[in-house]
Amino acid sequence: MIIPFFIPHSGCPHQCVFCNQKNIIGQRTSADPSTVARTICAYLDSAKHQEAQVAFYGGSFTALAIELQQRYLDACQPFIAAGRVKGIRLSTRPDCISKENLALLKDHHVETIELGVQSMDDPVLMRSGRGHTAADTLHAVTLLREQGFAIGLQLMPGLPGDSSDTFMSTVRSVIDMKPAFVRIYPALVIKETPLEALYRSGKYTPLSLDQAVQWCKSALLLFEQAGIAVIRMGLQPTEELQKPGTILAGPYHPSFRQLVDSSILLDRMRAALQQRSPGTGPACLCSHPSDVSAAIGQKRSNIVALKKEFCLSELRVSADPAVRKGSITYQ
């Protein structure tokens, strides 16, 4: 169980062109350190016997004043000492990592640090107002690994100046860094951000939904091959995010990860059907039970496409626990 605390924009030394976290998460102010203990208690009381981890999201935690970092971290320590909370995770920027600060985090049982990398292409980073370079990310990852932290890296395909080639180069660079996990958030045009002005002036064109699915599909396959978990694709739907006018343009979908998984499974379904004897009769494919919905596709899109492509009178997808997750077999 994750016990989240949001500190939107707190500590951030730059205004990234894509960022308005208050409109994304619907929280206007940062969590107050004085309320942290009470909130942890409420979570623990409502979900007994679950392993818990406290998380600080939304800002650049290590860019906060040391005194404020200390207050947040100190509030968690009694729960860690009592064994009720396993540890702490937080997110920050690649250029806000130092040996001194990591020593503080280590002493306070921070286990996982996520870096907002977004891209490993310096021109993309510059045009996006990130204020750091790819070299800063490499340096930060080196320091984190030396100190034994679990490392997560966040990527944002489709930023100004990005292309399929530059994004895949970023993916390969991230694989070389061997993080424990990654998150992928395709760039969206959120209201009241610098990216809105670029979009309205015609200086920025976001990815289409299909482009974003294809880019992320290619990335996911490479990450899976490298044994790196992709724990999130696309922004988590929130009440604020789904209000009309919050997202002005870009490849938003509340089930974006399923679209990517469905596209991968479509390719594997097609390959399985190509092995069958020619004919227009019915066909049945098998997938792991957890993959059935994605294999069928939203609004049965995969079924419709494959029936037409292979001239099938019927196509079914059956659940089979013996089939490896992510695989398709022909029955």
Q: Is the pTM of this model over 0.85?
A: yes
CATH number reported for the structural domain that contains residue 26 in this entry: 3.20.20.70
Angle at CA of residue 178, ends 162 and 53, nearest 5°: 100
Statement to judge: residues 227 and 313 lie in one domain: no
- 34 plus 119 within the same structural domain: yes
pLDDT, tens digit, for every residue of 17-40?
Answer: 777 655 454 445 667 888 899 999
C-alpha separations of 151 from 110, 115, 164 in Å: 11, 8, 25
Q: Which of 254, 269, 304 is the last residue of a domain?
A: 254
Of 235, 254, 273, the last residue of a domain is 254
Same domain, 176 and 286: no
**Tokens describing residue 15:** 């205004």
Other CB atoms closer than 10 Å to residue 146's CB: what's the count? 10
Do 311 and 194 fall into the same domain? no
For residues 264-272, average pLDDT: 95
Residue that finishes a domain, picked among 224, 254, 284: 254
Q: Are 331 and 285 in contact (CB under 8 A)?
A: yes
Domains contained in the chain, number: 2
pLDDT at position 114, please?
96
**166 and 77 assigned to the same domain:** yes
Pair (63, 158) in one structural domain: yes
Beta bridge mates, 183: 154, 232
Instruction: Provide the pLDDT confidence category of residue 325 given band limits of 50, 70 and 90.
Output: very high
CA distance 215 to 159: 13
pLDDT digits (tens, 9 = 90+) for 44-61: 888 776 789 999 987 789
Quick one: 67 and 139 in the same domain? yes
pLDDT over 80 at 147, yes or no: yes
Higher pLDDT, 260 or 130: 260
Identify the pLDDT of residue 14: 61
Say whether both 267 and 243 belong to one domain: no
Do 176 and 305 lie in one domain? The reply is: no
Same domain, 244 and 284: no
DSSP of 26-89: ---SPPPGGGHHHHHHHHHHHSTT---EEEEESS-GGGS-HHHHHHHHHHHHHHHHTTS--EEE
Q: What is the pLDDT of residues 274-286, one digit of tens each?
A: 887 776 678 999 9
Residues 163 and 190 in one domain: yes
Residues 155 and 37 in one domain: yes
> Tokens at residue 266, please?
């479509």
Q: What is the mean pLDDT of the chain?
A: 90
Instruction: Band the pLDDT of 148: cuts 50, 70, 90.
Output: very high
Mean pLDDT of 302-315: 92
User: Domain range holding 78?
Assistant: 2-254
